[in-house]
Amino acid sequence: MNAQNLASGSAYFIAKETELPVTTVLSVLVDNEPGVLARVIGLFSGRGYNIESLTVSETEHEQHLSRITIVTRGTPHILDQIRHQLERIVPVHRVVDLSVRADELGQSGPIQRELALVKVAGLGEHRNEALRLADAFHAKVSDATTEHFIFEITGKGSKIDQFIAIMKPLGLVEICRTGVAAMNRGPRGM
Amino acid sequence: MTAEKLASESHSSQRREMTGAEMVVQALIDQGVTDIFGYPGGAVLPIYDELFQQDRINHILVRHEQGAGHAAEGYARSTGKVGVMLVTSGPGATNAVTPLQDALMDSIPLVCISGQVPTSLIGSDAFQECDTVGITRPCTKHNWLVKDVNDLARVLHEAFHVAKTGRPGPVLVDVPKDVQFATGIYTPPEVSPRTSYHPRIQGDIEAIKQAVALMLTAKRPVIYSGGGVINSGNEASKLLRELVELTNFPITSTLMGLGAYPASGKNWLGMLGMHGTYEANMTMHDCDVMVNIGARFDDRITGRISGFSPNSKKIHIDIDPSSINKAVRVDVPVIGDVAHVLEDMIRLIRASSTKPDEKAMGAWWSQIDKWRSRKSLSYTRNKDVIMPQYALERLYALTKDRDTYITTEVGQHQMWAAQFYHFEKPNRWMTSGGLGTMGYGLPAALGVQIAHPDSLVIDIAGDASVQMNMQEMSAAVQYEAPIKIFILNNQYMGMVRQWQQLLHGNRLSHSYTEALPDFVKLAEAYGGHGIRCEKPGDLDDAIQEMIDVKKPVLFDCRVANLANCFPMIPSGKAHNEMLLPDEATDDAVANAIDAKGRQLV
């Protein structure tokens, strides 16, 4: 298999892709039943699509509905395929490409937020610097001893990336990120 | 039917208490199932015990679970009903994987019920345990593990609903042994209780209008139909014929769609694609409007995508939205069931003031006739050796006036069968298209014969494929299913060899079978009937003998060893770059595929 076929996410005689890949955010509303997440991620791995971020939780307890948010990357043609393939999964109710929807609404993109816990350990000037920077990033201190902090930071992925990069030389120990939660602006639901 | 029996039946489908195993049998009855294919084992014994105590469901004992699956597929394809298979846990379920994937790729409605170890043992690596729903998740349309007996009836009914509606496909219900023993409330079938699954049946009328407008202004149109027409039901085939009659458009079909339009119809171009006719592929290449009805632009059909029908506007009717723009970008997609869409389409065409351009159509048909006169399926006869094409011509001639069903294995014989056996009706042709499963045809023939006990059912086979599920001869003998296995025996895996000649410098690596069984003795060992034929002159009598014998037959038809299957679109080439039989010299074959094409399959 050659590179062009790999990039197209399918096999055999697929024509060379001339479109450029873009990143998009998909919201998938599913029945919260056993195996549903495996079906969704199995589709991505089985068909060679990318998952850059994945967030899932039950959002409507009475109806047992979960909302899965997937950040993925591909050409518009592939993204269209991903959406249709997701819609084929029996327990999937709805699939909305939030980025496309934002375009339709004339907005720059969906609201995307991530939460991260960032553990930093250190003494002296490093410790003070970490605290000052955390304050500048509106990160909260969730846990602390004289030797460490756990910062809780919420924001766009890029902001969290930046925060983590800054913490690295200041004694970064570990990071946990939730993945992206996203929704379109305005009064309408998905 | 007696009043008593009616009463007992209406009683049976009411809510009432029963065991899980009873529910399985009751659900099958309520779904109108009369025949199932299966193999017992530890984890399905309670269900088998229920089967023993009733006479509504006829169980066919196969010799391998793969055979059960293909038999159920053959049963489903030849009847339009859902095929049902019953297997045990572990190896029973893993053996079912091939037919499940086969049914998924060819959109065959199949319900597989599998036994599972008791719920308390799931995850403990118990004897004959495997993660059945995990293994079969990507090869089913949907699957379920039922952990509560009170969910079992609902899930079983839902399974049938999902299997047969929308784009049909295989489903699996995994039932742990303790659930089979447990007692719960049985619920009768209901219309889809699911809120998430809504296949689209009716086509968007605006899209259909657009399609019709495009069709009526076409100067070089073609209809390219597929298995979706057959899956949609007899009405779809009827409407397809009406559409062709109404528009006078030429029509070709995929391997899966053969029979939807009659091969004797005057607008028929033959099959298209890699081993399709010259006229079908050239018409596709040069057309200005293509109407794809229930096909999916499979890579065996399109050849090189960039060279695929480069100057046409494409209309695509498909029930599955993910088929649209998957391989080929289309201009007018219509999502819906073929019969529903064709009905609207025909109504709109009749009502339209625009009529097909007769002058342009005349010119188009005379061009097509020129392509037809190329006679791309011609071959050189031989009076000493049976040519495989000749064998199929004679088989067709001697069976066409009977009530005949054809299944195939996979390989050269399959393509020759598609080229030389002509189908007049849908549901008469059972072949593994998408997955290309060698070993499909013999068990599929068994399934067809169970559904149509008085019909002539023939598996056109190759000597290599047929050995993959040969064990089902034993089942055929047990159930007195007089299937005829017509083996085109060239001692090679012919298609593998053909590709080695095309791609790998004629190095025939492991494509020759050194030690074939004596098929006549083998037939006799199973309790069937064996026939061997080596001379063209003996062929007709031998075929007649095969038809007349009321037993399963293995027919060892010794054919020319080195014949290859043409015409052919080599890998990486377009429809107008076919290799025709008279041009297929050894040199041309060796150089037909360039380095880039070699990387493709």
> Which sequence spans correspond to the domains of chain A?
22-105, 111-183
Check if A10 contacts B (Cβ < 8 Å).
Answer: yes
CATH topology of domain A111-183: Alpha-Beta Plaits (3.30.70)
CATH number at B94 reads 3.40.50.970
Residue B383 lies in a domain: no
Give the pLDDT mean for A159-183.
97
Residue B587 lies in a domain: no
Q: B557 versus A8: which is more confidently predicted?
A: B557
Find out whether the peptide bond into B138 is cis, omega within 30 degrees of 0.
no
Question: Are both B110 and B41 inside the same structural domain?
Answer: yes
Question: Are both B370 and B392 inside the same structural domain?
Answer: no
Q: How far is B600 from chain A (nearest CA, A)?
A: 6
What SS3 state is found at B15? Answer: coil
Give the pLDDT mean for B562-580.
90
Give the pLDDT mean for B499-519.
92
- For residue B149, count other CB atoms closer than 10 A to its CB: 23
Question: Are both B362 and B393 inside the same structural domain?
Answer: no
Number of helical H runs and strand E runs in chain A:
6, 9
Token pair, residue B131, equals: 């993660």
pLDDT above 90 (res B594): no
Question: Are both B336 and B449 inside the same structural domain?
Answer: no
B304 CB neighbours in chain A (<8 A) are 13
Q: How far is A28 from chain B (nearest CA, A)?
A: 12
Q: What pLDDT is recorded for position A18?
A: 78
Q: What pLDDT is recorded for position B127?
A: 97
Distance CA B532, CA B520 (A): 7
Q: What pLDDT is recorded for position B216?
A: 97
Question: Are both B350 and B393 inside the same structural domain?
Answer: no
Q: What pLDDT is recorded for position B3?
A: 45
CATH number at B265 reads 3.40.50.1220
**Same fold for the domain at A22-105 and the one at A111-183?**
yes
Task: Determine the structural domain holding residue B81 and report its residue range.
Answer: 16-186
Question: Are both B223 and B333 inside the same structural domain?
Answer: yes
Catalytic residue flag (residue B425):
no
Q: Where are the beta strands (DSSP E) in chain A?
A: 22-31, 53-60, 65-74, 92-97, 111-121, 140-144, 148-155, 172-177, 181-183
Q: What pLDDT is recorded for position B166?
A: 96
Distance CA B283, CA B365 (A): 10
Picking from B347, B374, B401, the residue at the C-terminal end of a domain is: B374
pLDDT above 60 (res B241): yes
A84 CB neighbours in chain B (<8 A) are 321-322, 324
Catalytic residue flag (residue B414):
no
Give the pLDDT mean for B195-224.
96
- Domain count within chain B: 3
ipTM: 0.90
Question: Are both B270 and B343 inside the same structural domain?
Answer: yes
Give the pLDDT mean for B229-252.
98
As assigned by CATH, the class of the A22-105 domain is alpha beta
Q: Which residue's structure tokens are 């069709």? A: B215
Residue B8 lies in a domain: no
The 10s digit of each residue's pLDDT in B66-95 is 999 999 999 999 999 999 999 999 999 999
Q: What pLDDT is recorded for position A6?
A: 35
Question: Are both B265 and B297 inside the same structural domain?
Answer: yes
B197 CB neighbours in chain A (<8 A) are 90-91
Distance CA B143, CA B172 (A): 5
- Beta-ladder partners of B142: B171
Half-sphere exposure of B117 (CA within 13 A, CB side): 15
pLDDT above 90 (res A7): no
Q: How far is A92 from chain B (nearest CA, A)?
A: 6
Residue B580 lies in a domain: no
Question: Are both B214 and B344 inside the same structural domain?
Answer: yes
Question: Are both B254 and B307 inside the same structural domain?
Answer: yes
Among chain B residues, the shortest Cα distance to A28 is held by B196
Check if A18 contacts B (Cβ < 8 Å).
Answer: no
Question: Are both B25 and B114 inside the same structural domain?
Answer: yes
Question: Are both B21 and B168 inside the same structural domain?
Answer: yes
The 10s digit of each residue's pLDDT in B437-472 is 999 999 999 999 999 999 999 999 999 999 999 999
